[in-house]
Amino acid sequence: MYFVGIDIGSTAAKVAVCGDKDLKFVLPTGWSGKQTAAEIRKRLYDEGIDVSAENVYVGATGYGRNAVDYANCAVTEISCHAEGGSRLAKGDCTVIDVGGQDTKVIMVEKGRVSDFIMNDKCAAGTGKFVEIMANRLGVDIDELFELAERGKGLTISSLCTVFAETEVINYIGEGREREDIAFAVADSVASKVALMCRKQMISDNIIVTGGLSGIRYFADVLGRKIHRNIKTNENGKYAGALGAAYIAERKYKKSCER
């Protein structure tokens, strides 16, 4: 059996296959979720996985989950990131998912979601905010955090992305060092995420998932703000897709018991 998890987010679609084959890949979401789903189907077929076959069971999540018309089940992002994040963290934990358009803090206790908070009203504290600021500095996201590690001193006070971008433009106009501006951007994102972390939701086992999950510097900055060590994982960006695959496997096995 192949259990396929598809997480179509606002900027990237992540796919994870578990079972007879382990496979992971990322595609840009583009403008059409249906087109992205079709591209994923073709990519899977090229890998020897036919989603219409009886030995393939597909779970879909993310903003574009309803566009995956060949999915056997659709699952919420909260459930999938809780499942995938806790597997990567090896147990009950707090999952901090920094996505393209929203950020989620999820508390997993006894293998289940016990509480969560989600910021989906403003781009501040999300991957989109980082992308916008990186574009202003003429670098990609990884390069922005590399610059930030060498910077110091500056801050961004605005909680709104538009006004924060204006602050960055002003810093550029003043001739400030790119490293220092990048430092301010990274600190601003970490501060906004830290504000979402309610005291009762912070455990001793914390993992970052999503687009910033592989950036150790971000995890360290955020960790200092909430006074915890935070885990990163090379598969953190696949947490939603992995969760969808694990939940799909569970649903399939339950259906077989009937």
β-bridge mates for residue 6, sequence order? 15, 60
Q: Are 40 and 25 in contact (CB under 8 A)?
A: no
Q: How confident is the model at residue 258 (pLDDT cuts 50, 70, 90)?
A: low
Report pLDDT digits (tens) over 161-200.
778 888 989 999 999 999 999 999 999 989 888 988 877 7
pLDDT range class, residue 95, cuts 50, 70, 90: very high
CA distance 169 to 184: 12
pLDDT at 79 over 90: yes
Instruction: Label residue 125 by pLDDT band (50, 70, 90).
Output: low
Residue 110, sorted as left (phi over 0), alpha (psi -120 to 50) or beta, turns out to be left
Domains of the chain, start order: 2-78+239-256 (3.30.420.40)
What's the CA gap between 13 and 37, in Å, rounded? 9
The span from the CA of 229 to the CA of 69, in Å, is 40
Q: What are phi and psi of 116, to 5 degrees?
A: -160, 160
Higher pLDDT, 202 or 81: 81
> How far is the CA of 14 from the CAs of 49, 125, 127, 195, in angstroms?
16, 21, 15, 28
Is the pLDDT reported for residue 100 higher than 80? Answer: no
**Phi, psi of 93, rounded to the nearest 5 degrees:** -165, 180
Summarize pLDDT for 134-150 with one digit per residue, the tens.
998 999 989 999 999 99
Q: In the 8-state DSSP scheme, what is residue 76? A: -
For the chain, what is the mean pLDDT? 90
Take residue 111 and report the two structure tokens written for it. 């293998």
Q: What is the pLDDT of residue 240?
A: 95
- Between CA 161 and CA 147 the distance in angstroms is 20
- Tens digits of per-residue pLDDT, 225-250? 999 999 999 899 999 999 999 999 99
The tens digit of pLDDT for each residue in 11-58 reads: 889 999 998 889 999 998 877 889 999 999 999 999 999 999 999 999
Overall average pLDDT of the 94-120 stretch:
88
Distance CA 176, CA 57 (A): 53
Q: What is the pTM of this model?
A: 0.88
